[in-house]
Amino acid sequence: MTTSTQKLMVNGKDFTLDADPNMPVLWALRDILGLTGTKFGCGAGLCGACTIHVDGSPMRGCLTSLKQVQGKQVTTIEGLETEQLKQAWLEHNVPQCGYCQAGQLMSAAALLKTTAKPSEAQIDDAMSGNICRCGTYPRIKAAIKSASEA
């Protein structure tokens, strides 16, 4: 493992890390910066628990390296500023165990940023990469619809 100075912009703040440029940004966020809202799920980019935004686009933190985010803005669940969406999540009682919810919210926020009034098919498409083991998909969809109408 080769370490070098990595500059990271997270939630509007600049950080300098001494880390391997190939390290997944998920580990830098959780283990170095202490931002534990982004979860480790499968480690293969399949479950969506580690979803972050890189320059506003959803990406899997477990598959995205520090070198890939150099000079880009990373947003985690701790920095997500979508109060309407968070309120809809509460109103529709979306979380059950809660483990996947940060990734679900990050994907939903990215959808609503690009599509103000998504159709059911657009919601299904945008959320298809996020797995909820508790099966709260109907509540997730209802919360996204509600937030888009607010």
Q: What is the pLDDT of residues 16-53, one digit of tens each?
A: 999 999 999 999 999 999 999 999 999 999 999 999 99
User: What confidence category does residue 2 fall into, taking pLDDT thresholds of 50, 70 and 90?
Assistant: confident
- By residue range, what is the domain housing residue 109? 83-148
- The count of C-alpha atoms lying within 13 angstroms of the C-alpha of 115, restricted to the half-sphere facing its C-beta, is 15
Residue 3 has pLDDT above 90, yes or no: no
Report the number of secondary-structure helices (H) and strands (E) in the chain: 5, 5
CATH of the domain at 24: 3.10.20.30
pTM: 0.94
Q: CA nearest 11: which of 63, 85, 81, 89?
A: 81
Choosing from 79, 100, 133, the residue where a domain stops is 79
Q: What is the pLDDT of residues 119-128, one digit of tens each?
A: 999 999 999 9
Choosing from 44, 64, 79, the residue where a domain stops is 79
What is the spatial distance between Cα 8 and Cα 29, in angstroms, rounded to a whole number?
10
What per-residue confidence (pLDDT) applies to 6?
Answer: 92
Choosing from 79, 97, 118, the residue where a domain stops is 79
Residues 60 and 114 in one domain: no
